[in-house]
A = this chain, B = another copy of it.
Amino acid sequence: MRRFTLRPLNRGAALKGRHKVDDAALVKMLYALKLTREAESRIENVLYRQGKIVGGVYTGRGQEAIGVGSAIQLAEGDWVLPSHRDFSSFFLRGFSLRQIMANWMARANTPTRGRDNTLHLGDLNLRVIPIISPLGDTLPVACGVAMALKRRGQRRVVLVHFGEGTTSRGDVHEAMNMAAVMQLPVVFICNNNGYAYSTPATQQFLVNKLSVRGPAYGMVGFTVDGNDVLAVYEAVRHAISHARKGLGPTFIECKTFRMAGHSAHDAAEYVPREVLEREAKNDPIPRFELTLLGSRVVTHQDLQDLEQKIRDEIDDAVAYAESSPEPEGSTAVEGVLCGADCWWKKPIDRDEQRLASATASRELHGTDD
């Protein structure tokens, strides 16, 4: 297989190195990008409209490259705390599409047993800690995970994702400062998609580049093109290697765009039409496809095959979810406290998940780390 050389994406900045990513990893990234896009489209545009989704729908349309370019690099012992739009992180960490889909439909056979919604999916085996709705709350948690890993002398890292709007929360500050002063192996990945619900970034903060926040805590800060999966990959690669060396946290701002409303019910009329049109041309997925086609990592036929495979997988997941049982009402009162009857200790259907996890990590070990 040929090797693909990453462009240095942030010229003059700290991202100086060049790094080779093998074709398998590139194809896997494309797969994850396209699967994420397609699955979320199915959820938002088909299943939600059909009334099959329970509750609201938030997607990561337009910003898939951030989850993909980062999660793909994690080793098995690393941890990730995705944002509320980071479908791809779950998938790349080994959640099965079936489980994710079943959770959107509030079914019983998911890690939440129907107790929590959307992407509030966690699994310690897969080393994914889910977001909770109060924005920013996962950043301190990421610090705590990192403290434990550091104490054990494990060269593990923790990625935590959040939106630019979330940076206004006090917890984000407390966590970034704590990570810096304790030199914790955390990578703070901020997706600046231009909006927090209806609020433009210009009303959220006054700085042009959020990456200035890094040095304010004594950590490195990057701003990268979040719609370029390889730019994200490169920045995160540096940050991970920095963290693994015990050199502490990094803050990465990934500039991107929310190519949808805040949620399925939001037509986003507050976004100027010109902005929508401009950003439509900057879609990370066609960009990456063109790159891979241009460098002959994939052919048009490959793409068609991939798309078919993805459609099949989604069909399967939807069918699985639809045929999955709803939780029994009376289970609502179980497992509030963790004790002898701790529901977590009862087996739930994790086999598939484990399998996926094992596969994912095997594939990941193919990439340089």
| Chain B neighbourhood of A173, CB < 8 A | 170, 172-174
Q: Would you call A280 an interface residue if the criterion is a C-beta within 8 Å of the partner chain's C-beta atoms?
A: no
Q: Are B169's CB and A181's CB within 8 A?
A: no
The A257-281 residues at the B interface (CB cut-off 8 A) are none
The A175-192 residues at the B interface (CB cut-off 8 A) are 177-178, 180-181
Known: A170-B170, A170-B174, A174-B169. A207 touches B203 (CB 8 A): no
The A3-34 residues at the B interface (CB cut-off 8 A) are none
Q: Would you call A205 an interface residue if the criterion is a C-beta within 8 Å of the partner chain's C-beta atoms?
A: yes
Number of interface residues of A (CB under 8 A): 24
| Chain B neighbourhood of A174, CB < 8 A | 168-170, 173
Q: A57-65, A120-128, A209-217, A303-311: which lies at the B interface? A: A209-217
Chain B minimum-CB-distance residue to A170: B170
Majority SS at the chain A contact face: helix
Chain B minimum-CB-distance residue to A172: B173
Shortest CB distance A45–B (Å)? 35
Among B170, B178, B205, point to the contact of A217 (Cβ < 8 A): B205
Known: A173-B173, A216-B216. A180 touches B168 (CB 8 A): no
| Chain B neighbourhood of A219, CB < 8 A | 206
| Chain B neighbourhood of A168, CB < 8 A | 174, 177-178
Cα distance A168–B216 when bound, in Å?
A: 12
| Chain B neighbourhood of A327, CB < 8 A | none
Cα distance A170–B206 when bound, in Å?
A: 18
| Chain B neighbourhood of A213, CB < 8 A | 216
Q: Would you call A218 an interface residue if the criterion is a C-beta within 8 Å of the partner chain's C-beta atoms?
A: yes
Cα distance A172–B217 when bound, in Å?
A: 14
Shortest CB distance A216–B (Å)? 4
Cα distance A173–B213 when bound, in Å?
A: 11
Shortest CB distance A166–B (Å)? 12
Chain B minimum-CB-distance residue to A181: B206
| Chain B neighbourhood of A170, CB < 8 A | 169-174
Q: Would you call A112 an interface residue if the criterion is a C-beta within 8 Å of the partner chain's C-beta atoms?
A: no
Chain B minimum-CB-distance residue to A208: B218
Shortest CB distance A141–B (Å)? 15
Q: Would you call A204 an interface residue if the criterion is a C-beta within 8 Å of the partner chain's C-beta atoms?
A: yes
The A85-103 residues at the B interface (CB cut-off 8 A) are none
Among B169, B181, B205, B217, point to the contact of A180 (Cβ < 8 A): B205
B-binding residues in A (CB < 8 A)? 167-174, 177-178, 180-181, 203-207, 212-213, 215-219
Subset of 10 A-B contacts with CB under 8 Å: A167-B177, A169-B170, A169-B174, A170-B170, A170-B171, A180-B206, A181-B206, A207-B216, A207-B217, A213-B216
Known pairs A206-B218, A206-B219, A207-B215 / 5 extra A-B pairs, C-beta < 8 Å? A168-B177, A181-B204, A181-B205, A205-B218, A212-B216
